[in-house]
Structure 1
Amino acid sequence: MKTLLTGGTVVSMDPAVGDLERGDVLIEDGVIVEVAERIDARDAEVIDEVIDATDRIVMPGFVDNHRHSWQTAFRGVGADWTFPEWALAMHRTVKPHYRPEDVYAGTLLGRLEALHSGVTTMLDWYHVAQTHAHEDAAVAALRDAPGRSIFCLGAGWGTADSVDADIRRVRSELPGDGLVTMAFGLRGPDDTGMDTVARELKLADELGLRTSLHVDPGGTSPTVADLREHGLLRETTTFVHANGISDEELRMLADVGASLSVSPDVELKMGFGSPVTGRALAAGVRPTLSVDDVPSAGGDMFSTMRTAFAVQRGLDGGLRSRDLLEFTTIDAARSCGLGARTGSVTPGKDADLILLRTDDLTVFPVTDPAGSIVSAGHPGLVDTVLVAGQVVKRDGVLVGVDLPALRARLLASRDRIAAAAGIPLDGTWHPRPESK
């Protein structure tokens, strides 16, 4: 199967390829085989499909390395919440009422939303742990969405032995390098103690799993320093948030090559403190960006980039628009262990690509593609999405998706959970954590 994208503005995110004001991309069997100003397609019988990319930017799809898609049914309800209010609402109030079918509906709609807005690769940080059936429902939803997904299983229930068995069980179902793979969501030393972290990291190493760890947003925990003291810092771990960690601890992450995921909208709104984007760069860590959760923030990477960009520019005048594109493509792909497969328009990589409209009135005329994407981009520009060379969104519409049925399913899930939890859906729900 050969597909030719022709006549687009190529923003490759690969210095060796560069950017092309007018370029073509040839895909064969899901892999990019050539990128050039013009690719001779006169032998038309060998090209199965030609996609006209005129008035389009052709670039790698976005990579979101930290999102909790099980919460999709409660989109927007936490716009005014602090972190303690979110924790009370989502984990203590609604999560106990989630059934496997609710996890499936939220995960599927959340993953499709991400695809719709140009996120070709997404790490789904699963922490609605209750039963094996809940986990299996999340995996099934990711498989039913035609994106590249990483199921990051957070070990949040059961004994140490049962966690071990559970991780092994899911790993046996996701063993290879297909579109849905697996990562291990660590609980961390604050929740479980250093011995448990060591045991979980040993298991991750044995199974060949990358790990992800939320770091205390308040900065009161010496997580990074403690991990280093115990020899537990890994290149294969992505640290999430980490707003309060010291510059010295950021340098510790740089020393081992660990990754850092910044969720600027959630962190600023929920009271985590300033995102560490600039401090991370100064310490030698390439930050990445993530949405986190949609009850509190928008689900697209355009708004995420814009927040991170504006905040850091306001703090120190640093960053350029190209930096933000790198954070959300090639840098994030590397953080997921997928830098050799995706994250740039590079011959030999899988064709995970998006085509953004440049004739839309909200961005026209596009003089500086990178600047336009970061300063004014939005999901409405996402015209076409390809994952491993397969077109999953065409002419602004997801391919083969029955959205009316899925919308009805998600609404029914939301209404049932809300009724069971005794919470209103009229915009007045505001959880009140007990004061210490």
Structure 2
Amino acid sequence: MSAQVLLVSPSFYSLFSLFSSLLAISQLLLLLPSAAHCAETLFEGGTVLSFDDVTESVKVLFNTSILVSGNQIVSIFPQSQNITLPPGTEIIPSQGKIISPGFIDTHRHLWQSAFRTLGSNTSLAEYFDRYSEFTQAQTVFTPDDVYYGQLIGIYESLNAGVTSILDHAHHTWSNATALAGLNASITSGARVWWCYAFHNLTNGYTREDQLADFEYISQYGPWRNSSTTTLGLAYDPLSLDPPSLVQTVVDVANTTIERTVANMNLVVNSPEIANSYGILNTSIPVVFSHGSYLTVQDAELLRSTNQYLSITPESEMHYGHGHASSQLIQDQAALGVDTHFTYSTDIVTQARIWLQSVRLIFYDQVRANWQIPRNNPMSVNQAFLLATRAGGLALRRPDIGVLVEGAKADLVVFDGAAPNLIGWVDPVAAVMLHSNVGNVQHVMVDGVFKKRDFNLTLGADYSEVQQQFLQSARRIQGIWEATPLPDLEGDYPFSSGVLYGQAVTADVIRGNGTGY
């Protein structure tokens, strides 16, 4: 990766970027959360789901306190231990609570919030024609639409205890829509890896425009002043673009900034192809989403280069592309959500679905030999690690996804006395199999409360965000509802010689039923 890409910055672009930056600053001042770093916070006497570096396993600490200073966990100690707290330390009583690391979502498209419930029964083929970045969204979505959709998508995650998100940001249809999504990520205060998507568009925003915009943002963008937002890139057409163009994008990733993460769709990009361009053996973490067509060679490359797969369980079931062999590479995998407008957003749900899926797969292998399984193939602890620590490792951030001294203060407090949790013995099982979003009492990101006493702490302007988002969503939903469904007949355009087919349609009513 030796070629250099010159920064293209015409005068019009510079003026436009200056205007966009001023607009972004006004939005940030309007919507910045009112919460600030507390000097010190003590979560007193809870059950802490920590991590043992020696055994590389979950370490449950009962009656334990966590002291946060600034944005870091500085001490974890038994409640019975008498220590002198710094003056002004805020004490959060945590007896009966379960304190978990913040959950990590390693694959998401945050801008799509306005589509919520429109695609509940959509197929993957319909998604590409109706809801993806290649649709009329390129011209319908304004920068404000992107901004408020992105912000609401992140708030939904924070409410569920998801503190870190890798955003495959394919709302990059213009300089303005790209900047809007980035600014929303910064405003939210969540830990976001905002990955600028390079793609072939039909609205006249060329790949050269995208490269220039990305380089400009990488040097001057507002993410540089954020402690929680990191710039990255997303690139799907690795196997479809001319090699010279792919190399250009790769070189930009490798030379532009020091804090990059790359996100790629494994359905069209294999680790073998990525490796042929020298992407994998670098300091850049590369996260592949959807291991539907993962090969043995791909798995070996992920392990040898320490790169990760993002498994999106509910998405891969909903859309039908499946996860035929992802269960075999869980030592190099984490969890993601994908298109949150169609299903769950919380990572606990994704971990629960994946846990039971893996159990069934491995059970079936035994039953296929007419044997009865004597053991359970996957534990709740393994699912918990996928939802937390594995995400941090995928992003090369061992200081998130764990509650240990020196880690970032990203944590979630569950109300252990809720009717669905009370009486728990194993706190990991309580979270993984019995909790719901309503049990999330506190959420802290980078030492700042983002949810407190079951309420998001986003400042008085949250009502304004709600109002602006609803106006945006209703306009967009009206346009999509008036748009005819795509005609999915004949050849599938993305694969030569492949035809569309009809799946059996379920009907739970006898006789003629109720229709779809």
Same fold (TM over 0.5): yes
Deviations 1:349-376 (A, max 9, x none): 1111110111111122111111121112
Tell me whether 1:433 sits opposite 2:471 in the alignment.
no
- Corresponding residue of 2:66: 25
Matching residue of 1:12: 50
Match of 1:326 in 2: 385
1:185 equivalenced with 2:234 (yes/no): yes
1:13 is paired with a residue whose SS is: strand
Q: Give the total of aligned pairs.
A: 424
SS at match of 1:197: helix
Q: Does 1:408 align with 2:449?
A: no
Which ranges of structure 2 fall in alignment gaps of 5 or more residues? 1-38, 364-376, 492-516
Q: Distance in 2 between matches of 1:63 and 1:12?
A: 16
For the residue of structure 2 that corresponds to 1:12, the secondary structure is strand
* Corresponding residue for residue 254 of structure 2: 205
TM-score (norm 2): 0.77
Specify which of 174, 197, 220 is matched with residue 131 of structure 1: 174
Distance in 2 separating the partners of 1:430 and 1:265: 23
Q: How do residues 247-286 of structure 1 correspond to structure 2 at under 5 angstroms? A: 247-274=296-323, 276-281=325-330, 285-286=331-332
The corresponding residue for 2:15 is none
Larger radius of gyration between Structure 1 and Structure 2: 2
**Counterpart position of 1:57:** 98
TM norm structure 1: 0.91
Corresponding residue of 1:233? 280
Query: Partner amino acid for 2:360?
Result: G
In 1: Cα distance, 2:440 partner to 2:409 partner: 16
Distance 2:63 2:490 in 1: 59
Structure 2 equivalent of residue 99 of structure 1: 142
CA RMSD for the aligned pairs? 2.2
Please tell me the residue identity of whatever aligns with 1:327: L
> Does the Cα contact within 8 Å between 2:238 and 2:269 map onto a contact in 1?
no
- The Cα shift of 1:434 comes to 4.3
Q: Tell me, in whole angstroms, the C-alpha distance in 2 between the residues paired with 1:232 and 1:294.
A: 29
| Aligned ranges 1:57-96 → 2 under 5 Å | 57-91=98-132, 92-96=135-139
Q: Which residue of structure 2 lines up, in the alignment, with residue 354 of structure 1?
A: 412
Q: Which residue of the partner structure matches residue 370 of structure 1? A: 428
Quote the Cα distance in structure 1 between the aligned partners of 2:66 and 2:389: 18
Equivalent pair of 2:164/2:192 in contact (CA under 8 Å): yes
Is contact 1:9–1:58 with CA below 8 Å preserved after alignment?
A: yes
The alpha-carbon deviation at position 194 of structure 1 amounts to 3.2
Conserved? CA contact 1:392–1:399, under 8 Å:
yes
Deviation for aligned residue 1:278: 1.2
- Once the 2 structures are TM-superposed, how far is the Cα of residue 384 of structure 1 from its aligned partner? 0.3
* Secondary structure of the corresponding residue to residue 422 of structure 2: coil
Shift of 1:177: 6.7
Worse-superposed segment, 39-48 or 121-130: 39-48
Deviates further, 87-96 or 256-265: 87-96
What is the alpha-carbon distance in structure 1 between the residues aligned to residue 72 and residue 272 of structure 2?
Answer: 41
Q: CA separation in 2, counterparts of 1:44 and 1:274? A: 49
Other structure's SS at 2:294 match: coil
Say if 2:333 and 2:394, in contact at 8 Å, map to a contact too. no
Return the offset for 1:263.
0.6
Pair 86,41 (structure 1): closer, same or farther in 2 beyond 3 Å = farther
Matches within 5 A, 1:370-409: 370-401=428-459, 402-409=461-468
**2:389 alignment partner AA:** I
CA shift digits 1:42-96 (9 cap, x unpaired): 6466242000111211111001111111001111221211111111111314443
- Give, in angstroms, the shift of residue 106 of structure 1: 0.5
- Structure 1 gaps of 5+ residues are none
Q: Percent identity?
A: 23
What SS is found at the alignment partner of 2:217?
helix
Amino acid at match of 2:46: G
CA 1:430–1:370 in 2, change beyond 3 Å: closer, same or farther? Answer: farther
- How far is 1:41 from its partner? 5.9
Deviations 1:376-423 (CA, angstroms, capped at 9, x unpaired): 221111100111111121110011344443332222112212334453
* Compared CA separation, residues 178 and 403, structure 1 to 2 (3 A): closer
